[in-house]
Amino acid sequence: MTREGGGVLELLERIGSVVVPIAVALYAVLYIGIEQMYAVFGVNPQQVGVDQSVLLGRMTSTLVLLLLVAMPLLGVVVGVGWLIDKMTGGAASRLVRKLRERPWIAAALAALWCGATYWGVLRLFGDPDLFAMVVIAVGLGVLAFLIPFRLLRRKPIGRAGTKVIVGGMTGVGLGFLLILGLVEGAVDVQNSGQANELLNAVGFQDQWAVIKSAEDDKPLYDGRWMMLLGESDGTYVLYDCDKLETLRRPMETTNLGQIQLDPEREKGFTCGSLAQQDTP
């Protein structure tokens, strides 16, 4: 019983030692994705009032939901691993232990995984096919990571460092895939006027309003709906879906009327109707 309990606790400890670096690296890369997302509209996060603290505050509910999903999944992974080990009479755990004791095998697996994490970076700058990605992953793994990981396997502190590096590289790789998704989502908003679930998850405000003059409360811009990207330094940053333009207006001369969140769009709706009319 003690050996089984120790095994489960050891497994949880190993999972935690990998998950934490993944989460830290993923959050670190996330702000780069937010910058790229708002760059589609010609602004930066600071101009719409989004800094690290605001981003974390907007994502609190999303982080709670992820935690609620991750905990049962973690329990299922541990349970399945225990079940497989029991069904094989302990052979599965012995096989894993033997692989971990072979420094070249463990280093090679970690190196290939780190090489594969560059897929997100490559997707951001191009669209490599599967064969090219495999070649790049193997090449990077062998040339850049294999020997360092093999040397780190000599001491316990080096093996712990390998876990941190692999976890961090995994988080960075996932982060660049997230950046790609955020940029594509922002382009969809620019064209369709509607945000997807990924943008909502990172705190993007799909908020629309009719802009009015503060002097007489009369609608401006022909009463068209404008997306409120954010506000900072006494200025509203607005996106005109009809003209495909990003505008800035002083808050002191602007009233917001008829505010809507996540408005429903009719099928086939696209932005740029007035922009096409203005094109000679």
What is the SS3 string spanning the chain?
A: CHHHHHHHHHHHHHHHHHHHHHHHHHHHHHHHHHHHHHHCCCCCHHHHCCCHHHHHHHCHHHHHHHHHHHHHHHHHHHHHHHHHHHHCCCHHHHHHHHHHHCHHHHHHHHHHHHHHCCHHHHHHHCCCCHHHHHHHHHHHHHHHHHHHHHHHCCCHHHHHHHHHHHHHHHHHHHHHHHHHHHHHHHHHHHHHCCCCHHHHHCCCCCEEEEEEECCCCCECHHHCEEEEEEEECCEEEEEECCCCEEEEEEHHHEEEEEEEECCCCCCCCCCCHHHHHHCC
Of residues 10 and 181, more confidently modeled: 181
Residue 210 binned pLDDT confidence (cut-offs 50, 70, 90): very high
Which region among 52-61, 108-117, 177-186 has the lowest average model confidence (pLDDT)?
52-61
- Residues 172-206: pLDDT tens digits? 888 888 888 899 999 999 988 888 888 888 888 88
Check if the beta carbon of residue 235 is closer than 8 Å to that of residue 248: yes
The parent domain of residue 214 ranges over 205-274
Q: What is the mean pLDDT of residues 9-37?
A: 77
Say whether pLDDT at 130 is over 80. no
Distance (Å, whole) CA 123 – CA 140: 16
The verdict on 139 and 248 lying in the same domain is no
Residue 2 binned pLDDT confidence (cut-offs 50, 70, 90): very low
Which residue among 163, 192, 221 closes a domain? 192
**pTM recorded for the entire structure:** 0.78
pLDDT of residue 20: 78
- Say if 279 falls within a structural domain: no
- Residues 80-101: pLDDT tens digits? 888 888 888 888 888 888 877 7
**How far from 205 is each of 14, 199, 229, CA to CA, in Å?**
37, 8, 7
pLDDT of residue 187: 92
What are residue 208's DSSP bridge partners?
227, 260
- Residues 223-248: pLDDT tens digits? 899 999 989 888 999 999 999 999 99
The verdict on 124 and 233 lying in the same domain is no
Which residue among 159, 192, 225 closes a domain? 192
Which residue among 170, 192, 214 closes a domain? 192
∠ CA 166-112-87, nearest 5°, is 80
Q: What is the mean pLDDT of residues 121-125?
A: 76
- Say if 199 falls within a structural domain: no
Instruction: Give how many domains the chain has, as a whole number.
Output: 2
Q: Please give the order of strands across the beta sheet that includes 254-261.
A: 245-250, 235-240, 225-232, 207-213, 254-261
The verdict on 37 and 133 lying in the same domain is yes
Structure tokens at 157: 């502190």
Say whether pLDDT at 168 is over 70. yes
